Structure 1
Amino acid sequence: MLLRTFRWAFAVTALGLVAAVFYGGWAALGVVAILSVLEISLSFDNAVVNAGVLKKMNAFWQKIFLTIGILIAVFGMRLVFPVVIVAVTARLGPWEAVHLALTDKDRYQELVTDAHPAIAAFGGMFLLMIFLNFVFEDRDVKWLARLERPLAKLGRVDMLSVCVALVVLLVSAMTFAANAHQHGGATVDKAETVLTAGVAGLITYMIVGGLSGYFEDKLEEEEEREHEAEEAAERSGKPRSAVALAGKAAFFMFLYLEVLDASFSFDGVIGAFAITNDIVLMALGLGIGAMYVRSLTVYLVRQGTLDDYVYLEHGAHYAIGALAVILLVTIQYQINEIITGLVGVVLIGWSFWSSVRRNRALADAEQAGDAGGGEQA
């Protein structure tokens, strides 16, 4: 099972490392290996959250996620995205940006750094909305009950997550964005940039998340009437309606996963510039890491790990909230990528250990109950 799920990740790793050696020798291989580890460590929470969505999709769409989805993730976010942000912020043509990235790497890195406030605001707001909607929802299973119970009660207020996100964005624009560029004579412009990018991230979440949620609800309603629908479809001779509805639901959930992956990728792409400004090595290293994250997502789904360790999803969402805050803070302050990665690892590790303790307690209680029943008999 492990080998079958990760076989493409292993193959991509071998090809990527060989390509790195041919491109830049053994030093390039070392850089690619470091970038791969960086991407995996920063995106483990991404895999857990993705698994929570992917488990609702059938095997066909899981394959699409691993094939077309990985092409989007590798070429879209790890190769094209760094070039696009330079082209947009520097007002260059796409080919000019590519030429700059390959010939003047220092200038290219400088332009990417200038674009960081907008990237951080967009990604930070998208991830913050995911976190807020999770903690404001009343769930049967609660991990940090003392915190989650009052938050779930507050979540009964309509649009509370949007209001909180907008307040956070406004504070970030008035503090981090202004302070980060107060010496450059462009304080107002950068604050406006952060506000615009943040609102764009919030709108993107609401559109994609809303559409995926709408079709997911429709799919669940259809599943509840599955038997009756199949009989009606056979009698009418039109068996395609339920399949089409499922296809729409799966498509928008797939779209949601891609946007979610893109938001998680921001910190990895930006953090990669601390290691190298060579976009070829960056694409190779981050692409290998992305492949492992995708394979890990599918592995978690097929093994039923989220069902066995019920707090993992909680830990991943808290890691998302932490990453959202970190992204917004990096508008002004530089935060080491090791810290960013460790925050997610610690939160998910804590939630995993809590799940193990819960399972042990339930098992002990069940054994005690069986023993008590046997003695009474």
Structure 2
Amino acid sequence: MWWQTGLIIFGLALLEIACSIDNAVLNAKILTDLPKKYRRFFLFWGLLFSIIVVRGSFPFFLIWSANPALSWWQVFLAIFNQSSALTASLMESRAWLLMAGGVYLHLIFWSWFLTEEKRFNFLVGRFTKKYHFLFYFLVLVLGGLLLWTTSLVNLQLTISALIGFGVFFIADGLKRGAYWTGTHLKKAKLGVWSKLVYLEVLDAAFVLDGIIGSFAFTMNLPLIIVGSGLGALVVRQLTVQGLPWLTRWTFLKNGALFSILFLSIIMIAESFGADFGWWLAPVLSFVGLTIFLALSMVHWKRKHYKK
């Protein structure tokens, strides 16, 4: 039904916007030094590359890697032609993909909650700053419980969970390195094209969270591309508009991370066979992001009127 498709696309776009807000702020700082024509280039041609190459190839690669018995062409046919035999093969691997993605997103949330500074932190900021090593303790406990549980159900789920843990630590290291480089890029004497290339690499480094989260909404690759593409368009436009606009949404990242927590729970539960319905992921994402968006607006108005 059209409204079902529309709600899924809307939820995917919201998730993409929320997950990319930190990246957008960093990009905006770099773009302030670029001439206007290069900003337009980043908005149009950079956006096409981001949607077609990055957001198109990443989910396709993830689906293909979860179906090693199929060639890339067979996966393509199963996605776009809905061939019954090939589609059945894809659905068999859905649980493995959901498990790996759910573990990855779950670690994303707890890494943020226990190790990063937060503007709105539910009175636990001092505790988490002082005892941030609890994140690694939590990884050991959750990892042990999850690996033990999955080993009782399906060995493939255990392997998928291990892949989720591995991908998180690799991606986390890459993102921290990319973010550190970006914060020092303004001081570096680099050319315009070098900075544009770096911005695209930075976008690719931060896009994985939203792409993995999209599988909690749907396994339909065209919908994922459209939804995340619309979100990327909004983020690019906000980036070009600059920091004053972006800094209004102080708590939006908090909403994104709590949405990611809900999505990770849905994905892990569904990998064990639970069925929550197609509407739960977009509704939870919408509610979580709306709450923190409203808090951001209230905070900005109070700060603005005090001046």
Do the two structures share a fold, i.e. TM-score over 0.5? yes
Q: Which position in structure 2 is the counterpart of 1:39? A: 12
Question: For 2:207, what is the secondary structure of its paired residue?
Answer: helix
User: What letter matches 2:239 in structure 1?
Assistant: V
Deviations 1:160-211 (A, max 9, x none): 4xx44443433333334544x465342xx53453233223222222124314
User: What letter matches 1:54 in structure 2?
Assistant: N
User: What letter matches 1:355 in structure 2?
Assistant: W
**Where do 5+ consecutive residues of structure 2 fail to align?**
271-275
Q: Does 1:326 align with 2:293?
A: no
Q: Which has the higher contact order (CA 8 A, sep 6+)?
A: 2
TM score, norm. by length of structure 1: 0.63
Q: How many Å separate the matches in 1 of 2:217 and 2:122? A: 34
Change beyond 3 A, Cα 1:258–1:130: farther
Change beyond 3 A, Cα 1:103–1:130: same
Work out the percentage of aligned pairs sharing the same amino acid. Answer: 9
Q: Which position in structure 2 is the counterpart of 1:112? A: 94
Deviations 1:111-145 (A, max 9, x none): 22332111222344356545655427xxxxx4558
Q: How many Å separate the matches in 1 of 2:50 and 2:236? A: 17
User: What letter matches 2:83 in structure 1?
Assistant: T
Of 230, 240, 255, the residue aligned with 2:201 is 255
TM score, norm. by length of structure 2: 0.75
Q: How many Å separate the matches in 2 of 1:145 and 1:30? A: 36
Q: Does 1:343 align with 2:280?
A: no
- Tell me how large the CA RMSD over aligned residues is: 3.5
Q: How many Å separate the matches in 1 of 2:166 and 2:121? A: 30
**Where do 5+ consecutive residues of structure 1 fail to align?**
1-26, 137-141, 223-241, 274-278, 364-377
Query: Residues 51-130 of structure 1: matches in 2 within 5 Å?
Result: 51-58=24-31, 60=38, 63-64=41-42, 66-74=44-52, 76-77=54-55, 79-92=56-69, 93-101=71-79, 102-104=82-84, 105-126=87-108, 128-129=110-111
Q: How many Å separate the matches in 1 of 2:200 and 2:90? A: 32
Q: CA deviation at 1:31?
A: 5.4
Q: Which position in structure 1 is the counterpart of 2:140? A: 170
Aligned residues of 1:212 and 1:249 also touching (Cα < 8 A): no
Q: How many Å separate the matches in 2 of 1:70 and 1:123? A: 26
Paired residues, number: 288
Q: How many Å separate the matches in 1 of 2:210 and 2:204? A: 10
Give the helix-richer structure, 1 or 2.
1
Of 156, 169, 176, the residue aligned with 1:202 is 169
Q: How many Å separate the matches in 2 of 1:182 and 1:294? A: 38
Aligned residues of 1:36 and 1:289 also touching (Cα < 8 A): yes
Change beyond 3 A, Cα 1:216–1:110: same
Aligned residues of 2:103 and 2:268 also touching (Cα < 8 A): no
Change beyond 3 A, Cα 1:70–1:331: same
